[in-house]
Amino acid sequence: MNFLRLADLLNIQVVTINIKRHPLEEWMPRVYQSSASLLVQRMVRHRIFVWVYDVIILINAIFIALDEKNPFISYAEWLFLSLYIIEILLKLYTYEPRAYFGKKQFWNWFDTLIIMAALVATVANTTIQSARKYNSQQILDIVLILRILRLLRIIVSIQRFRLIVTTLINIGPTILTFGGLVLVSGLFLWLVLRE
């Protein structure tokens, strides 16, 4: 309280930040603060963890380019998907989930949605293949697009590209508004010229 009064006397704005503890730390403090758990958390927070998954994404891109009829490559798809799910689970274990999925955490949302959609599409494709003994090309195309979208994460890890992508995301709503105005203006002009 004395510290806050001092800030009032000096006319300094003091902002209090409510740091939320991880739910696992509240429910199982001994387990979450154990040496093995702290080691996992340190590994996930380390820059090498990001680099390892960037390399995994690049290897996955190489497998995408290969022939998918090879059984080894189709099994590798499940391996990559499993690795991505493990990555998200490790990040959720390390970082507080509400902060991980915060309003400003676009790339965490993007990663999670891409992985979950790819999982659903892959399971649907495998079910269709095993039930009817045919390949649904549309589902395969969706899985391929979702796996390729994951490559955007590597682009974001490079500072210059991150700036470009962030700028595009920030101006996206403005571009949509401008595009809507151009479309309405074009339709209005077409209707006027038509009469």
pLDDT at 16 over 90: no
40 closest CA partner among 58, 56, 22, 26: 22
pLDDT tens figures, 48-105: 998 898 888 888 878 877 766 667 777 788 888 899 999 999 999 998 888 888 877 8
- Give residue limits of the domains in the chain: 22-161
The mean pLDDT of 5-13, rounded to a whole number, is 60
Average pLDDT, the chain: 79
The whole-angstrom separation of Cα 182 and Cα 179 is 5
**pLDDT at res. 43:** 95
Task: Using a pLDDT cut of 70, give the percent of the chain over it.
Answer: 77
The whole-angstrom separation of Cα 70 and Cα 89 is 29
The whole-angstrom separation of Cα 72 and Cα 78 is 10
- Quickly state the pLDDT bin for 134 (edges 50, 70, 90): low
Task: Using a pLDDT cut of 90, give the percent of the chain over it.
Answer: 15
Instruction: With H, G, I as helix, E, B as strand and everything else as coil, classify residue 14.
Output: coil
- CATH of the domain spanning 22-161: 1.20.120
- Quickly state the pLDDT bin for 132 (edges 50, 70, 90): low
**pLDDT at res. 163:** 79
What is the Cβ-side half-sphere exposure of residue 7, based on CA atoms within 13 angstroms?
9
pLDDT at 164 over 70: yes
The whole-angstrom separation of Cα 119 and Cα 92 is 18
- Quickly state the pLDDT bin for 144 (edges 50, 70, 90): low
Would the pTM of this model clear 0.85, i.e. be above it?
Answer: no
**How many beta carbons lie within 10 A of that of residue 167, not counting itself?**
10
The whole-angstrom separation of Cα 124 and Cα 129 is 9
